[in-house]
Structure 1
Amino acid sequence: MSDPTTRALRLLSLLQTHRSWPGRELRERLGVSDRTLRRDIDRLRELGYEVHARPGVDGGYQLAAGTRLPPLLLDDDEAVAIAVGLRVAAVQGLGEHTALSALVKLEQMLPAHLRRRVSALQEYAVAAGGRGMSVDPDLIAELALACRDHERVRFAYVSGLDVESTRNVEPHTLVSNGPRWYLVCWDVDRAGWRTFRLDRMSRLLRTGARFTARELPVEDATEMVFVSDTEASYPLEAVIHLDQPLEETRRAFGVWARGATANDSGGSDWPVGGPSLADLLYGPGWIPLDVAWTVSATPEVTDLLARFARRLTDALPPPSEPPSPS
């Protein structure tokens, strides 16, 4: 690496990724002598980068905070992350004018393909709360672009039961919920709305086939994620038998009742489930007080529900006596 400018930029990139570098390792990375390394360090200092040198056998170099902010070297993913963060800050009013000013400076330096990624991620990736788990940023970016361009995609997917299948979908929105990212989409082969976890996807292919965007069955895509994963199976499951027609059940609970079916008595059977008792009881809590219902479940789940019902009854105060007539 003979060009001094190229070498200095490479040295700066290395110093920005580690707290401290041994001199020997830097020389090996750059393919230079100790004397050349010292000259390149001095060149960075002249540009405003404060580089500390530690002498001795175990000595090395460390990039420290200086008295002014020098230029930063960012890779593609870092630049996209900063740009998206600045857009969120501007929209939410967190230092709006400063965020917009910084965003303009950054985006005018981004190449066209990175500006497309920033725009797609901002518009089609929704945070529903919590921190996301580790997902390939290129996968998120490609799916966001497919959402924006209304382009069908195919991918391999492993369900919660470890069953692998190939999915052909029309992507709508990306949602991060807690530690996971989800794709909300229309499953072409199954003719219905589905959610897929990105950490279970592989072999993504953008097909180039365009589609007309469909209207979501809910106002907010995050509701689709909150319902359940595609083809989910839960440790605790039950079926609620509601004394109301299926149409009324679907109208009352929307996408939450997408698995409900009509029964022979003219009512509806609504499957519910979850990894815990609290999740299992979430759905029944929304049943109107004037609607009668019963529950069917395995003996283990039935016993768990009965024990909770007894605990709830024991925790309630005795009913108050009606006032006596005067």
Structure 2
Amino acid sequence: MLGCMTTDTPARLLQLLSLLQTPREWPGGELADRLGVSRRTVRRDIDRLRELGYPVQASKGSDGGYRLVAGKAMPPLVLDDEEAVAIAVGLRAGAGHAVEGVDEASVRALAKLEQVLPARLRHRVSTLQAATTPLTSGDGASIAPETLTVMASTVAGQERLRFAYRDREGGESRRLTEPYRLVSTGRRWYLVAYDLGREDWRTFRVDRVREPFATGVRFAPRELPAGSAAEYLRRSIRRRQETYEFEVWFAGPVEVVASRVPEWIGTPEAEADGGCVLRGSSGDPVEWLAVRLVMVGCEFAVRGPGELVECVRELGGRLSRAGAAGG
């Protein structure tokens, strides 16, 4: 016997899609019971989902089943309340620090999700995050996720962004910008933008930004005076800070090393011996760069500068002693 008939087709399709997104095969009879409709209606609804681009696979048998399989396209997902809150909290936790791998795409995803979350769920997300403390964090300054999501939405929507900014000397100013990209260095977030007041390109440390406001005014993107936002940031940091040049040889294919080294540090170049060389400049402490080189996961040799060579040697000795003590 059927349950209460679901006559609202869009609502029924969303409910059906939510069921199919559970990683299991659903017998047609069970879906019909869950939805309160006939098996024929379930088959018609399955056809509608396929027309919308959802890859629903059917199995043969006395009570044929259905499952949602991976496809080339990614139609919209349907999340229940608990799933939406869990994803938002996870993205917020990663966005609060410039965690490597949590890049602009992740922040854009968070901006899109929070834009459509009902107020009751946004409140749950904020409450849960306020009540928890991460065990680990990046070594850069913390950032309010709301600041990143506002910035990411203006980057994606090509919308002018206004904010208060504190420079490294402590001076306060108001900026009106055309945001281009958010860049994570693994320690901090930066905004690369065209500053309308200065009539020039600028980079801004996001942890120094306050009161970001999307003005709603659209703009046509300008041509960045560099190959990429990461390259522009690297040049900008080099101009502002006392930097040092470094050269490191890796005993690994250039493709592997390139995939494990942030673009802003530099681009490795292949060598005839099958390894590759990474050359660049940095304003970060040599201790931080030494640890970052170890994290690449390949044998390597530092060719310069001397301070980095000595730092790696001391780090290696310390790790060896720690390993021996642990044994």
TM-score by length of 1: 0.38
Q: Which has the larger radius of gyration?
A: 1
TM-score by length of 2: 0.37
